[in-house]
Chain A
């Protein structure tokens, strides 16, 4: 009985649009497989969840991962800049980091004029939200210091990765 009904259903002419929609859905499924394979196996692996802060800020400088930043720290090539404003929980920082804060940018820069030169390479970090570091990065670039990178995840990521820390002083280096 079931076989007879199935044979009769197959004998009916299939609506062309329904067949086309079925083809479209199968092509869509094939595309999803291709996209998943490309994501898993080839080149740049985009995180599936977008970091809203990175998109909202329209970052003034490229991001640097904490592992790369630690290598740069060990090589001593980059100057580290702490952009966090003073406050509760801001007691430690990257050893040797200079302090340049958005709220006192001009004063902090004046204190460093004899120390930093435009050719220096900077890694800026904040509390992890990127807002402070991005603000300082944009102003540093505007002042003629183009070699600027932003530490992804800020000091929290640095701490989580086991990076060295020292007590922060509110002016000059730590």
Chain B
């Protein structure tokens, strides 16, 4: 049972992260603007973060989908989701009217409570691949 729950969570979280990374990988300049709108990242780190974050999303998402180092990939996705949750929460507290920059760097969904719930659900979905003794079909030996 846990094995299949882990597989479903891997595919959902991994698929979401791969999808989210594609537009950012193609348009790092636009993604840097989206990050800047949160007013959390200093200018010295703005472009390196805009270049690195989509790559981490893609690699971690792909690792989850194929079941390669699923525990490490689940940790990476979980850490990224925690960062996203904190960023969205602080944007809401500060009353920022900005687009989230989650999937589409050209405008996209504005930050709101619905995004917090979505990211919390995805964070919970990282737990089965991390904790399950068997992670479902994949390339890892402990599947």
Q: Which residues of A contact B (CB under 8 A)?
A: 16, 19-28, 30-32, 34-35, 38-39, 43-44, 46-50, 52, 55
Q: Assess the A31–B69 pair: CB atoms within 8 A.
A: no
Q: Assess the B27–A44 pair: CB atoms within 8 A.
A: yes
- Subset of 28 A-B contacts with CB under 8 Å: A20-B72, A20-B75, A20-B130, A23-B72, A23-B73, A24-B71, A24-B75, A24-B76, A26-B72, A27-B63, A27-B69, A27-B76, A30-B59, A31-B56, A31-B59, A34-B55, A34-B58, A34-B59, A35-B56, A39-B51, A43-B26, A46-B29, A46-B50, A49-B43, A49-B44, A50-B36, A50-B43, A55-B43
In the complex, chain B residues whose CB is within 8 Å of the CB of A38: 25, 51, 55
- Report the bound CA distance from A39 to B31 in whole Å: 14
Q: Assess the A52–B55 pair: CB atoms within 8 A.
A: no
Number of residues from B at the complex interface, CB < 8 A: 32
B108 at the interface (CB under 8 A from A): no
Q: From the candidates B32, B51, B60, B79, name the one contacting A35 in the complex (CB within 8 A).
A: B51
Interface contacts beyond A20-B75, A31-B52: sample of 4 additional A-B pairs, CB < 8 Å, sorted by A: A23-B71, A32-B52, A46-B50, A52-B43
In the complex, chain A residues whose CB is within 8 Å of the CB of B48: 48
- Report the bound CA distance from A52 to B41 in whole Å: 12
- Least distance between B44 CB and chain A CB atoms (Å): 7
Closest to B133 in A: A16
Q: Assess the A32–B55 pair: CB atoms within 8 A.
A: yes
B101 at the interface (CB under 8 A from A): no
In the complex, chain A residues whose CB is within 8 Å of the CB of B29: 44, 46
- Report the bound CA distance from A22 to B44 in whole Å: 28
Chain B, 71-102, contact with A by CB distance < 8 Å: what is the 0/1 string? 11111100100000000000000000000000
In the complex, chain A residues whose CB is within 8 Å of the CB of B55: 31-32, 34-35, 38
- Least distance between B22 CB and chain A CB atoms (Å): 12
In the complex, chain A residues whose CB is within 8 Å of the CB of B43: 49-50, 52, 55
B28 at the interface (CB under 8 A from A): yes
In the complex, chain A residues whose CB is within 8 Å of the CB of B52: 31-32, 35
Chain B, 27-66, contact with A by CB distance < 8 Å: what is the 0/1 string? 1110011001000000110111011101110111001000
Q: Using known A-B contacts A27-B59, A39-B51, determine if residue A21 contacts B72 with beta carbons closer than 8 Å.
A: yes
Q: Assess the B63–A50 pair: CB atoms within 8 A.
A: no
